[in-house]
Amino acid sequence: MGLAELLFPPRCIFCREFLSAGSVCPRCAQSLPARGLVRRRHEFIDSAASPFVYDGPVRAAILRYKFRGRRAYAEGFAPFLARCVEEELGRDFDVVTWAPISARRLRERGFDQSELIARLTAEKLDLPIERLLRKTRDTKPNSSISGAARRRANVSGAYTAVDTARFRGAKVLLIDDILTTGATLSECARVLLTAGAGSVCAATLAAAPERR
């Protein structure tokens, strides 16, 4: 064991229990992803799936990942998302892409959390990944806005398609970190479809429980 491992032993990204190796403890690996949370009622998206509900230790882990620079968490997240995609959505996709953050947010955070998860997930699914979208307008975080209509208005027109000839007619898997109302993913899917994509499915690491 190296000095770094002695000083900073690995911990489970969810419950923070100390580990001898890896990034997820056996208990969390078995108990958290009870089943894929499939949601099929988002505009412009054929279907959407998430392995986790955005609550409890999952929510805490994602917040540490995004706002405390825990980039290594992506290695622990990706296997769960890849398995969820394969089981709930299949692997019949031409290309994987992600919902990008703005240039300003990228400078502040130092990395795009959705891009990192998307690249690792695509690698595990053996699917090609391309940057198909750019966020051209810095918006308020949708998490700070209440109401589906206001969230849709916040992201309307904030994305543009990149190099559209490369995905014309393609079946696209769109990845993001969290699905709440679906406003961001729906806007990204609308832009992709308008630019010529054949269809768009979405996968997120976690999804807020649907209100009945």
On whether residue 59 sits in a domain, the answer given is yes
Q: 195 is in which domain, residue-wise?
A: 37-138+154-207
Q: Are 93 and 173 in contact (CB under 8 A)?
A: yes
Long-range contacts of 67-71 (CB under 8 A, 24+ apart): 67/109, 69/109, 69/110, 69/111, 70/13, 71/111, 71/116
Q: Are 189 and 202 in contact (CB under 8 A)?
A: yes
Indicate which CATH number applies to the domain containing 195: 3.40.50.2020
On whether residue 97 sits in a domain, the answer given is yes
CA distance readout (Å), 87 to 73, 156, 173, 212: 22, 31, 14, 25
Per DSSP, helices labelled H in the chain are 3-7, 26-31, 56-67, 73-84, 103-109, 113-125, 148-155, 183-194
Q: Tally the domains of the chain.
A: 1
On whether residue 7 sits in a domain, the answer given is no
On whether residue 79 sits in a domain, the answer given is yes
pLDDT one digit per residue (tens) for the chain, 212 residues: 343 344 457 899 999 999 988 899 998 988 876 555 556 568 899 999 999 989 889 999 999 999 998 999 999 999 999 999 999 999 999 999 999 999 999 999 999 999 999 999 999 999 999 999 999 987 766 666 666 677 777 777 789 999 888 889 999 999 999 998 889 999 999 999 999 999 999 999 999 876 64
Per DSSP, 209 falls in state: P
On whether residue 21 sits in a domain, the answer given is no
Task: Tokens for 94, please give them.
Answer: 């031409």
On whether residue 168 sits in a domain, the answer given is yes
Task: Tokens for 160, please give them.
Answer: 């543009």
